[in-house]
């Protein structure tokens, strides 16, 4: 099973204070309350890819651990089939987070395992957070009772950032690494590369490594050479 162990260190860069919350303030506040123990309501968080779903999950788990609230994270899309065994073995913490519910839609065994997990956690007093691209009734789950259970959770929509906000997020993340991205560099990236934050974050990791190794500033010519080489 590939759930993350209790001793696993949450990514340091994926915290509440590094999340660009404009337009999603209410959603972030509810997750903060969940993490500090002032709320134990079950949550169904949904938004398109690149809207920061996984960032917020990691931030919630990290903040919960800081309050001595145990947390576990299960990335359903990353698990090898069959996934029902991993779901049935998931649990034992105060806070349980399941990412990418879309990945199990239509998988009868996985859907039944998730239904059983839901009921088990209700009985045990654990708190669950579910995450998907859309509300429960719109992600293709076939088990009506599961759709009903998921729909009873507090529904938290996550609004995606526009391009101007994505630029600001990327610039801010780069600054924390000591990398200056001027307007020409940002224009180049946003015209030549995928604009979702996941892809841009992965590219920033590579830019950080390569610029340090080459001892070069991050400029348009440098990025053009980097992208021309592909993922070497």
Residue pLDDT, tens place only, 141-200:
999 999 999 999 999 999 888 888 889 888 988 998 899 999 999 999 988 887 777 788
Query: Residue 7 pLDDT > 70, yes or no?
Result: no
E-only strand ranges, 21-79 = 43-46, 71-75
The pLDDT of residue 193 is 82
The pLDDT of residue 55 is 87
The pLDDT of residue 13 is 67
Q: How many CA atoms lie within 13 A of 215 on its CB side?
A: 0
The pLDDT of residue 231 is 62
**Residue-averaged pLDDT of the chain:** 89
Query: Residue 2 pLDDT > 80, yes or no?
Result: no
More confident: 10 or 201 = 201
pLDDT band at 5 (very low <50, low <70, confident <90, very high): very low
Return the percent helix, strand and coil in the chain, to nearest 5.
Answer: 50, 10, 40
- Percent of the residues in the chain that have a pLDDT greater than 70, as a whole number: 94
Name the 3-class secondary structure at 196.
Answer: coil
Residue bearing tokens 């145990």: 70
Please name each of the domains of the chain with its CATH number.
16-157 (3.40.50.300), 163-228 (1.10.8.60)
**DSSP 8-state code for residue 67:** T
The pLDDT of residue 154 is 96
The pLDDT of residue 165 is 86
Query: Residue 52 pLDDT > 90, yes or no?
Result: no
The pLDDT of residue 51 is 84
C-alpha to C-alpha distance for 185 and 80, rounded to whole angstroms: 38
The pLDDT of residue 229 is 82
Residues 6+ apart with CB under 8 A from 177: 204, 208
C-alpha to C-alpha distance for 110 and 105, rounded to whole angstroms: 8
Q: How far apart are the first and last CA of the chain?
A: 30
* Structure confidence by residue, pLDDT tens digits, 8-43: 455 666 788 888 888 899 999 999 999 999 988 999
The pLDDT of residue 185 is 94
């Amino acid at each position: 099973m590939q759930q993350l162990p209790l001793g696993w260190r949450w990514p340091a860069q994926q915290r509440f204070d590094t999340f660009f919350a404009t337009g999603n303030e209410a959603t972030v506040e509810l997750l903060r309350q969940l993490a500090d123990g002032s709320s134990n309501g079950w949550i169904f968080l949904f938004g398109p890819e690149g809207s920061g779903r996984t960032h917020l999950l990691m931030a919630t788990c990290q903040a919960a651990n800081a309050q001595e609230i145990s947390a576990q994270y299960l990335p359903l899309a990353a698990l090898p089939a069959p996934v029902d065994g991993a779901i049935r073995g998931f649990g034992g913490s105060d806070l349980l987070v399941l990412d990418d519910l879309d990945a199990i839609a239509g998988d009868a065994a996985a859907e039944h395992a998730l239904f059983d997990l839901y009921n088990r956690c209700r009985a045990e007093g654990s708190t669950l957070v579910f995450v998907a691209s859309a509300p429960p009734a719109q992600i293709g789950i076939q088990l009506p009772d599961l759709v009903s259970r998921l729909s009873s959770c507090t529904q938290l929509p996550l609004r995606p950032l526009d391009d101007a906000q994505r630029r600001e997020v990327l610039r801010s993340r780069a600054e924390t690494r000591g990398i200056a991205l001027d307007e020409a560099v940002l224009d180049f990236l946003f015209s030549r590369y995928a604009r979702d934050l996941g892809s841009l974050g992965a590219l920033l990791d590579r830019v950080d490594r390569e610029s340090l190794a080459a001892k070069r500033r991050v400029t348009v010519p440098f990025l053009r050479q980097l992208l021309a080489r592909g993922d070497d």
